[in-house]
Structure 1
Amino acid sequence: MRAVVLENELLRVTVVCDKGGDVVEFLHKPTDTDFVWLSPQGLRDPRTHLLGAADDVAGFVDHYEGGWQEVFPNGGAPSRYRGARLAQHGEVSGLPWECEILADTPEEVSVRLSVRTRRLPYLLEKVYRLRSGTAVLETEGRATNEADLPLHAMWGQHLVFGRPFLRPGHRIRLPEGVRVVPHESAIGPSGRRVRAGGPWEWPVVPADGGGEIDLSVIPPEGTPSDIVYLTGFTDGWYEIMGEIGMRVEWDASVQPYLWLWQELGAAKDYPWWGRAYVVGLEPFAGMPTDGLAAAVAGGTALTFGPHETKVTTLRAEVLT
């Protein structure tokens, strides 16, 4: 598969153009820390592994190598929208993207990736940029409705953190005023559920069976799986910190939600088999994870006018 490597004095970032424009390496050179979690199943070419076509979930899950994905125009579960059947996190995370080098100088390296969706009439473009002397990856995304009629979409950044970077006790920092909206179907293997009926103030939410969950602290291995949604961002940013950390900033006017997903080794069946210790912190337009039709019904999906383009930015910076 085609890949492009962007590199400066402090960072090396590898992007797989032929699989969703996925970021599969975000290496901080001075500390030899890779912030990208990679799945034990490894990087699989969606063009040659036909098992992924068996159903609307396997297409994403069976080819999920970890890394960071663009999710558009459907987020979460498979969904039907205006006659189009959309797979889990479909479509662009499984498509090959075109790649063009924009800059290759001592001061800056940058590339533009682009792809057209196949089931809805969208053009998606993304620019990745590194500047000399900074431990910052800058991205700019553009989504264009190429039809003569209005359409909806979900648009997210599927960013996950895991080992070797992530450890129990690492902390998540967020702006003041952010609230938590639990997801009714967020049930872990133990049967534990985060109660619906919020929102509650970050970082503590009630849990069934008594007690509270402090979402700002990365829990130990074996903690049940969960997903919640965070909202109320005036400025879109979070920090995830241990001895070294990362700050992610994004345009909350376009992606007003942050999906917080954790899979910490408690799921012993397909697809994790107890081998994943990951936390996702995913800026998103649209919720819940029930797909585009549910987001449209709930009023959280993006609306694109005929031939409208929306632009969003994201900035990932290593903190030492």
Structure 2
Amino acid sequence: MNVHRPQRNYGCRIHDQGTYLGMRTIVLENDLVRVSYLLDKGADLFEFQYKPAGLDYVWLSENGVQNPNAYLPTSTDLISTFIDYYPGGWQEVFPNGGPTSAYAVTQFGQHGEVAHMRWDYTIVTDSVDCIAVTFSVRTKKVPFHLSRTVTLERQSPALTIQETLTNLSRVPLQFMWGQHVAFGKPFLEPGCRIVLPDSVEVLTETTDKDKPAAGRIARGRRHAWPLAESAGGGTVDLSVTPEPQTASDVVYLHGFGERGWYKVENERLGAGLHLEWDASVMPYVWY
């Protein structure tokens, strides 16, 4: 923290002097958006507010943000560690994703290491017209260094993110890398529209014959977005968010080409968001 850094209450600005529930935070904002990160909990994004409407796009769980230093999980289950501290929002998933997995002689828990670790930060740019902060972390179980630079410009609601992954060892290493993004109320509600490129396919996993199929759609098949064949023989429109208590459909979306993107639109609120990324690096979306 640089106490001699110029302070201002207009244009682009960075707040790195505060804490939230005992954890260091960094807040980036301009006239349109306010974005908050938890440095001591994975550099999670836990606020993305569109200020003119007072609308936060990020979903927070009922438990909200949890300080990992204030709660000791009562289960040794490797999946529960992620869930117990999960606030919603946006996490970095690395060096593995999904349920528990092993690599060489190393055992990983749900969604890897970095979502639970303290990250360092460096303020790269701090001006009225543009701000940029680089977050960085070094994994413990495998030798990687991960950095994330976020940039916000004046009078723009867009947050630009650039990441660099470095293998610190002398041998090739395998990894799984992704972004765990969750949007929710008050922005997300039944009837919201999810827009994807026409080229996208819906991929489903096969199911155990002894267990009922999860969700609404037929498993072990490919479906053309957005209409998927239902388990009962009809069709399900995956582009419309369903009513509460509807069975969840956990599927993979593929076929984005080099540049991936999707949009989520709430017509009632006149609000939406657009996310795009390098699909040559991250070719799948988990829906």
- TM-score, with normalisation over the residues of structure 1? 0.78
1:210–1:67 distance in 2 versus 1, CA, 3 Å: same
The 5-angstrom pairing of residues 135-214 of structure 1 reads 135-184=157-206, 192=215, 194-214=217-237
The 5-angstrom pairing of residues 52-201 of structure 1 reads 54-184=76-206, 192=215, 194-201=217-224
For the 8 Å contact 1:189–1:225, the answer to whether it is kept is no
- Provide the residue aligned with 1:293 in structure 2: none
1:189–1:246 distance in 2 versus 1, CA, 3 Å: farther
Q: Secondary structure at the match of 1:144?
A: strand
For the 8 Å contact 1:52–1:60, the answer to whether it is kept is no
Q: Does 1:47 align with 2:85?
A: no
Q: Does 1:8 align with 2:30?
A: yes
By relative contact order (CA 8 Å, sep 6+), the higher-ranking structure is 1
Structure 1 position 145, deviation (Å): 1.0
Tell me the distance in 2 between the aligned counterparts of 1:44 and 1:184: 35
Which consecutive unaligned segments of at least 5 residues does structure 2 have? 1-22
Query: Once the two structures are aligned, what percentage of the paired residues are identical?
Result: 44
Tell me the distance in 2 between the aligned counterparts of 1:91 and 1:179: 30
For residue 65 of structure 1, what is the amino acid of its counterpart? P
Tell me the distance in 1 between the aligned counterparts of 2:207 and 2:250: 9
Q: Does 1:253 align with 2:280?
A: yes
- TM-score, with normalisation over the residues of structure 2? 0.86
Q: Aligned Cα RMSD in Å? A: 1.9
1:154–1:52 distance in 2 versus 1, CA, 3 Å: farther
Tell me the distance in 2 between the aligned counterparts of 1:53 and 1:128: 35
Q: Secondary structure at the match of 2:73?
A: helix
For the 8 Å contact 1:125–1:143, the answer to whether it is kept is yes
1:191–1:68 distance in 2 versus 1, CA, 3 Å: closer
Q: Secondary structure at the match of 2:68?
A: coil
1:29–1:49 distance in 2 versus 1, CA, 3 Å: same
For residue 75 of structure 1, what is the amino acid of its counterpart? G
Q: Does 1:224 align with 2:247?
A: yes
Q: Does 1:215 align with 2:238?
A: yes
1:61–1:172 distance in 2 versus 1, CA, 3 Å: same
Q: Secondary structure at the match of 2:152?
A: strand
Deviates more, 1:27-36 or 1:205-214: 205-214
Q: Secondary structure at the match of 1:216?
A: coil
Q: Secondary structure at the match of 1:241?
A: strand
1:73–1:39 distance in 2 versus 1, CA, 3 Å: same
Q: Secondary structure at the match of 2:69?
A: coil
For the 8 Å contact 2:200–2:225, the answer to whether it is kept is yes
Structure 1 position 45, deviation (Å): 1.2
Q: Count matched residues.
A: 260
Q: Does 1:239 align with 2:267?
A: no
